[in-house]
Structure 1
Amino acid sequence: MNRRALTIGTGALAAALFGAGAWLYPQGKLAGPAARGQDDIYVRPHSPVIGKADARVTIVEFFDPSCEACRAFHPILGQILARHPEDVRLVLRYALFHEGSDEAARILEAARLQGRFEAVLHALFERQPEWAIHGAPNLKNAWRIAGIAGLDLNRAQQDAQRPQIDRVLQADTADLQTLQVRQTPTFFVNTRPLLSFGPRQLYELILTEMNTAR
């Protein structure tokens, strides 16, 4: 499936599903799953989590910052979290298939150390066409955009080379290979794979899991 072809239609469908709206991720709620004692192939202690730690439904997204379809799903996921803040959380895993995406992930991990993960993630997606040029990514622009989003670039450029970030990227790569993730975005909802790809199908699977967990 060519998921890049879904980019335009996905944005329109988001409006139809949830109503027009801007960025709606609940800000300041990034946490780790370690509080729930989780450490499995879907959720690792290092995985960024947006939403309540004890939410009944966990969306795991394997994503690539350079992926156009990931960019299209970004506001849709935000709207889902805003609609179900008590029941749904999002766990983000890296699937770095595009050239330059490994450095973009390092920017995000450095931003996490400064408490700026969500802001920088949003900025990189919003301005993705300025830096994620297929075959010729402009990582200087990615850093510049992160700086505009509030990242301390001097500190971040040093932090991006930390061994702990190497381990995060290596662990996510190992897990995506085990789970046979071959495209981005790839979603799992309470470990159930999204077999029929699309925003409506994702939301229907989330609602099914919410009802099952009651």
Structure 2
Amino acid sequence: MSRRTVVIAISVLAVVGFAVAAFFYDRASTVPQATAPVPQNSALERFNSPSFGPANAPVTIVEFFDPSCESCRAFYPIVKKMMSQHPTDVRLVLRYVKLHKGSEEAIRLLEAARKQGVFAPVLEAVLEAQPQWHDDAQASAAWDAAAQAGLDVAKAREQMVSPEITATIERDAADAKTVGVSGTPTFFVNGKPLTNFGAQQLYDLIWSEINQSR
């Protein structure tokens, strides 16, 4: 089964997932909370990569993702559900890959949101609004969604062009090439690549690593 076929099937689940997320959007319990960076420095995980979940979780998912990627949007509520089912066992680390017209704009927006301490709600809002902006180089609808989620847009416009954010984008691009990322989302669980793409396959790999840690 091709990745595109899998994505179409997963998108049906994603619609339900985002509907639920939208209903509970302003309740803090539905938004994953970003955690402090963990001292790591490898092509898979850098010390300042954005992450969710407990720092000492026995299982770390590294996802190379593009905020403009429809597959990444489809997988977001699925990964979120997996983490909610294993809140003390699983940690998610996000790495950026820019493959689409509006990707870099959205990545810079998200990194500015991280500087402002609103990364999680802005990420959810940007992904939910993705159908309205992912072919737009300026990602205008993403900015509108981010503003509604709490982003100070004027400040973010200044922050997004910082050398630090540029370095993050360049570093993640180099690391993606190093580990052989050719599309998004690409998952690694405790360093092991998800070789068969799919939601169930990802869950099986996560569950296997949880069992091995016990």
Question: TM-score, normalized by length of structure 1?
Answer: 0.89
Which deviates more from structure 2 when the two are superposed, residues 71-80 or residues 142-151?
142-151
Summarize the Cα distance change of 1:131–1:47 in structure 2 as closer, same or farther, 3 Å threshold. same
**Contact preservation (8 Å) 1:48, 1:91:** yes
Superposed displacement of residue 32, structure 1? 3.4
| RMSD value, Cα | 2.3
Match of 2:211 in 1: 211
Does structure 1 residue 118 correspond to structure 2 residue 116? Answer: no
Match of 2:159 in 1: 159
Summarize the Cα distance change of 1:116–1:2 in structure 2 as closer, same or farther, 3 Å threshold. farther
Superposed displacement of residue 116, structure 1? 0.9
Letter in 1 for 2:31: Q
Letter in 2 for 1:194: L
**Contact preservation (8 Å) 1:33, 1:43:** no
Q: Is the partner of 1:30 in helix, strand or coil?
A: coil
Summarize the Cα distance change of 1:39–1:132 in structure 2 as closer, same or farther, 3 Å threshold. same
Q: Is the partner of 2:177 in helix, strand or coil?
A: helix
Q: Is the partner of 1:145 in helix, strand or coil?
A: helix
Distance 1:174 1:115 in 2: 26
Write the mapping of 1:169-180 to structure 2, written as runs, cut at 5 A.
169-180=169-180
Q: Is the partner of 2:20 in helix, strand or coil?
A: coil
Match of 2:92 in 1: 90
Does structure 1 residue 29 correspond to structure 2 residue 27? Answer: no
Distance 1:147 1:3 in 2: 33
**Contact preservation (8 Å) 1:62, 1:92:** yes
Structure 2: runs of 5+ lacking an equivalent: none
Letter in 1 for 2:43: I
Match of 1:189 in 2: 189
Superposed displacement of residue 138, structure 1? 4.6
Letter in 1 for 2:171: A
Distance 1:8 1:150 in 2: 31
Distance 1:26 1:142 in 2: 20
Letter in 2 for 1:113: K
Question: TM-score, normalized by length of structure 2?
Answer: 0.89
Structure 1: runs of 5+ lacking an equivalent: none
Distance 1:70 1:98 in 2: 12
4+ aligned runs moved over 6 Å, structure 1: none
Which deviates more from structure 2 when the two are superposed, residues 136-145 or residues 186-195?
136-145
**Contact preservation (8 Å) 1:110, 1:159:** yes
Superposed displacement of residue 11, structure 1? 4.0
Letter in 2 for 1:122: E
Distance 1:143 1:12 in 2: 25
Write the mapping of 1:23-62 to structure 2, written as runs, cut at 5 A.
23=21, 27=31, 29-34=33-38, 37-62=39-64
Distance 1:57 1:26 in 2: 21
Superposed displacement of residue 29, structure 1? 2.5
Superposed displacement of residue 71, structure 1? 0.4
Which deviates more from structure 2 when the two are superposed, residues 22-31 or residues 49-58?
22-31
Q: Is the partner of 1:147 in helix, strand or coil?
A: helix
Superposed displacement of residue 203, structure 1? 0.2
Percent same amino acid at aligned positions?
47
